[in-house]
Amino acid sequence: MNHKNAIIESQQRISKYIHKTPVLTSQGINTICEATLFFKCENFQKMGAFKMRGATNAILQLTEEQRSRGVVTHSSGNFAQALALAAKSLGVTAYIVMPENAPQVKKDAVLGYGGKITECASTIEAREIASAKMVKEIGATFVHPSNDMDVIYGNATACLELLQEQPDLEMVIAPVGGGGLLAGTALTTHYFGNNGLAIGGEPSAVNDAFRSLQSGKIETNLHTNTIADGLRTHLGDLNFPILKKYVHEIICVEEQAILEAMQLIYQRLKIVVEPSSAVALAVVLNNKESFKNKHIGILLSGGNVDLQKLPF
């Protein structure tokens, strides 16, 4: 299957299970940026993030027999909730491996969507061992949050909807964490755009993807001190080659710029987004000369933020 057809088929496959999210604009933000920005609002997606697209697509690709044995993932973030809700909508059991120190609010969200939680120690190894155990013992299918082609194709449909509404975008900027959204965005921009460029936005504090494109191999982060908690993970062997081939550039932004962009989105667009969502706008705000007078798509990844911990 080529990428182009896979993305079209993914859109058809998942359309009745997800929201077609709105594209918002703000005259005020355009004036500040001296450019024309189109915000694809995945904060309005079911369960509050684009992850619902990839999770739904991955489960729909399973056989009846696979579905009967359930799906498993390890995540303490949006993908845990997405897989739980997507599975519930499709009558499938979702087993979610979460670190035992994950915030109760995140565990409650997964439980609220009907997910079955297995707790493990708070290390990547422990997560992987626990997931592998579920796969072996229960026969559940493992779905990776970002390094899975069906997840990537599902994620790609966010940018596809955006381009269907605004075909002539000169660039689309998506945040990059695990690489699943940026890979989908880059494929879609390449196959469905009108010579548009795909650009990644990444916090400087966790600039593993930026360094990976420089070094040519998957880099990791020594620390994860960023407010953009959805972007702390690193790339995978399936999405990295896509990024290498189809992403024009990854641009890094400092924490203060992310915070200011987040505040601007709340003030001007009047919507609630999580810090990771603000990274793409921060890229534009920090590089006004490069983006001047351009028509730019901005992927807002989600809106699941702890209101008690807003940074302003």
In terms of Cβ atoms closer than 10 Å to its own Cβ (0-12, 13-18, 19+), residue 135 is middle
Residue 247 is a binding residue for a copy of itself (CB under 8 A): no
Binding mask 281-310 toward a copy of itself (x if CB under 8 A, else -) reads ----------------------x---xx-x
Residue 136 is a binding residue for a copy of itself (CB under 8 A): no
- Which are the catalytic amino acids? 51, 76
Contacting a copy of itself (CB under 8 A), which of 63, 91, 195, 312?
312
Residue 43 is a binding residue for a copy of itself (CB under 8 A): yes
**Tokens for 147?**
């390094």
User: Between residues 273 and 283, which has the closer beta carbon with respect to a copy of itself?
Assistant: 273
Angstrom distances, CA of residue 21 to CA of 3, 16, 42, 115 = 23, 13, 6, 25
Strand partners, 172: 198, 297
- Sheet with 247-253, side-by-side order of all strands: 23-24, 36-41, 295-300, 171-175, 197-203, 247-253
CB of 194 to a copy of itself, least distance (A): 27
User: Between residues 39 and 95, which has the closer beta carbon with respect to a copy of itself?
Assistant: 39
Contacting a copy of itself (CB under 8 A), which of 88, 271, 287, 290?
271
Residue 104 is a binding residue for a copy of itself (CB under 8 A): no
The alpha carbon dihedral of 109, 111, 113, 119 has a sign of positive
**Tokens for 58?**
């991955």
- Interaction site with a copy of itself (CB under 8 A): 22, 24, 43-44, 48, 263, 266-267, 270-273, 303, 307-308, 310, 312
